[in-house]
Amino acid sequence: MKTREKVARIFEKIKKILVDELGVDSDAIEPSASFIDDLNMDPDDLAEFFTRVEDSFSQPDNKVEIPEKDSDNISTVQALIDYLQDIGVED
């Protein structure tokens, strides 16, 4: 699978979580969007969001976990996409 297609699918899955489960405006969601500054998420929203991302991307043979020390450094949608790719997440 091409990386660009994989990135697009990961982005769409992240966007769906943000819109459907956290009520974020879909028009505001871009790869460069900051969770706090652009998407107006507070620390509680972020914690819930990262938990949902872990659940959504986990597979029976590959549980996705985003440790707090890592999540503290993930401030944009693109940073999350990059992180998920770095840990070998399949869409």
Q: Which H or E run contains 42?
A: none
**Which of 42, 44, 61, 86 is labelled catalytic?**
42
**Token couple for 15:** 């966007």
Q: Are 34 and 42 in contact (CB under 8 A)?
A: no
Indicate if 42 belongs to the active site: yes
- DSSP classification of residue 19: I
| Catalytic residue numbers, as ranges | 42
